[in-house]
Amino acid sequence: MRVKIAGAGIAGLSTALSLHAAGITDVVVHEAVEDIQPLGVGINILPHAVRELIELGLGDRLAEIGVETADLTFINRYGQRIWSEPRGRQAGYAWPQYSIHRGRLQLMLLRAVRERLGAGAVVTGSPVTGLHHDADLLVGADGIRSSVRQALFPGEGEPLWGGHVLWRGTTYRAPFMTGRSMIMAGHGATKIVIYPVAPDEDGNQLINWAVQHQAPESTPRGDWNQPVSVDKVLPHVQDWHCDELDISELVAAATKVYEYPLVDRDPLPHWSTGDVTLIGDAAHPMYPTGSNGGTQAVIDARVLAYALATGRGLKFYEDERRPVTNRIVLANRQDGPEIILRLAHERAPHGFADIEAVLPLTEREEIALHYKRLAGFEPATLNARRSWSAEPPPLPRHRRTT
């Protein structure tokens, strides 16, 4: 079986590695850019995707370039703690969660593809612009502005903007809290997420931060790499308090800041037509709420490889993945697990003396658990789920002739 993949991002490279592990080795990834650079900032890879990468033999490499996330804490703008929970193995998962620089993850996957499938398995400067191809299957892994998706659904139009802008940056600073912690702070209109994305270096870590702000005057451009001045961001967080670190100082010290109007697309009625299918952001672009973009792409790749290697086909792949990702796309428009920040703000806009009187523990627990179930990473269920590894088919036996 010959497979052509459009796009050498996390989705496309994970697909190539997954197919190879399942015994489908005639695979070529076509990437539009000439030189793949480690662009972007931080992302989280949740346990259900880390499981897949470990089963692909990439566990040690992940540990070398990422930070194993230990805990997540939600606070309001006054620094008052709303909710804390352990993450990864500390939460009972059999696999860790990693906070990692997106570009470093992409380059790690790229190296693995070239090692396992050969130097020619990734062709750069080679955009896929339509559905015509010379393979048994074309996989569109070319992102939110996918050419493959556009060819399948020519009338869809531009990505949909929900009225928020996202500013992202990184800053080298001393570790905070456990050194493996995530903080989410703010309220409904503005919030920030902060976490380290690289191991200690001379006593400092590379700290990723992302500020999401309601901004109805913005015009969506869909460009992750639109540089802006940090002065555009600071007014929205400069009076926020946090005992563990100085939020405004962290933002002010960033060397570069990127702006991205938050966009997604409506769920599709199907991803596959004949010998073409979609994966990752090309199939289900979503807001980065709940750290699910890269995570779902990795899982897509593994399920697709399993479906093809076991003869179940594209229908099985879609039946497994499309309902789950559709639910996440729609849930992320409603804040996902971060709804806890909005509820605390609505009920106590000036802070609180007792969080239990504002958001009872049972309600906070249900919010956290509900999203894990919806996104497919509730600990007990994930730990018990069968593997998506598909054993390569046995080599044909040749009869001896006499």
Cα dihedral 66→68→69→70 (10° resolution): -160
- Residue 240 to residue 234: CA distance in whole angstroms: 10
Kindly tell me if the per-residue pLDDT of 174 is higher than 70.
Answer: yes
Domain extents in the chain: 2-159+265-384
State yes or no: pLDDT of 401 exceeds 50.
no
- Is residue 393 scored above 70 in pLDDT? no
User: For the segment 202-235, what is each residue's pLDDT rounded down to a tens digit?
Assistant: 889 999 999 999 876 655 555 556 889 999 999 9
Tokens of 262: 């938050």
> Which 8-state DSSP code applies to residue 207?
E
The DSSP secondary-structure symbol of 392 reads P
Is the pLDDT at 31 greater than 60, yes or no?
A: yes
Q: What is the mean pLDDT of the chain?
A: 92
- CATH fold, domain 2-159+265-384, is FAD/NAD(P)-binding domain (3.50.50)
Separation of first and last alpha carbons in the chain: 33
* Cα–Cα distance for residue pair 344/186, rounded to 1 Å: 10
Strands (E), 152-204: 160-173, 181-186, 190-196
With a cut of 90, say whether residue 92 has pLDDT above it.
Answer: yes
Per-residue tokens: 399: 């009869």
Within 8 A by CB and 6+ apart from 309, the residues are: 19, 22, 23, 24, 390, 391, 392, 393
DSSP lists the bridge partners of residue 71 as 86, 181
What percentage of the chain has pLDDT greater than the value 70?
95
Q: Which 8-state DSSP code applies to residue 135? A: S
Q: CA-CA distance, 41 to 360, in Å (whole number)?
A: 35
